[in-house]
Amino acid sequence: MLLRLIVWAVPALLYAVFFFWYTSFGGPLTQEEVERYMSAFEERGGDAEVLTQVRAFLESDTGNDFIMINALHMKDTPDQVEGVEPGESSDDVMAKYMEYMWPALLRRASHPVMFGPAVSNALDVVGIEDARIWNRGAAMRYRSRRDMMEITTNPAFSGRHDFKTASLEKTIAYPIEDALTLTDPRVLLFFVLLSVAGVLNATVRR
């Protein structure tokens, strides 16, 4: 009886730990939070149109996780900003940016769900100029807009972001909320652990 209880309790505990780490329970951003994050962006300067779009993105927060879709065209030779060594490739410089991003992302249950090199120029382009050539693609999952803002408003991010812009010829990044429930790791992990526990329970019965 005790062994059977352990068979079910351990997967349940593992799932609970993962679920509470992977899920945002903070709800939508408050107006106070929006103003705080916007102040951090405005202090750095930037394009007024971009700042307006960021504000709209924050004020329309649902509290849900989201995925940032990225199309990337890496430069043949990176810009020689501070911290870039002669002879370094754009991939080397992007790696300097990700040295900050990886720990910041993983602490907040944010991670890539897709990444890879382009295997062709764009096969379909409508209404966009200079959008034929891309050489990378990525999709990054964020636990919440709050988590993304905590990452990007950290003063440590500002200097690192220079490495990203130095390595990119052009990029497009826009957020979506995934409507396919079965792609959610919480759903997949639930069924995996349920199956494992079921098999072990059947073994114990024998």
Q: Are 74 and 167 in contact (CB under 8 A)?
A: yes
pLDDT at position 158: 75
Question: Across the 206 residues of the chain, what is the mean pLDDT of every consecutive 10-residue run?
Answer: 84 96 97 96 85 96 97 94 90 93 95 95 92 95 97 85 92 93 89 91 75
Q: Are 140 and 173 in contact (CB under 8 A)?
A: no
Q: Is residue 159 part of a domain?
A: yes
pTM for the structure as a whole: 0.90
Q: Is residue 52 part of a domain?
A: no
Number of domains the chain is built from: 1
pLDDT at position 68: 97
Q: Is residue 55 part of a domain?
A: no
pLDDT at position 206: 57
CATH number for 144: 3.30.70.100
pLDDT at position 104: 94
Which structural domain, as residue segments, surrounds residue 123?
Answer: 69-176
Q: Is residue 34 part of a domain?
A: no
Q: Are 77 and 90 in contact (CB under 8 A)?
A: yes
Q: Is residue 134 part of a domain?
A: yes
Tokens of 94: 């992007």
Q: Is residue 158 part of a domain?
A: yes
pLDDT at position 201: 83
**How far, CA to CA in Å, does 64 sit from each of 27, 28, 42, 177, 197?**
8, 8, 25, 8, 30
Alpha-carbon span 56 to 64, nearest angstrom: 16
Neighbours of 151 (CB within 10 A): 18
Q: Is residue 124 part of a domain?
A: yes
Radius of gyration of the chain (CA): 21
Q: Is residue 92 part of a domain?
A: yes
Q: Are 58 and 144 in contact (CB under 8 A)?
A: no
Alpha-carbon span 206 to 201, nearest angstrom: 9
pLDDT at position 88: 93
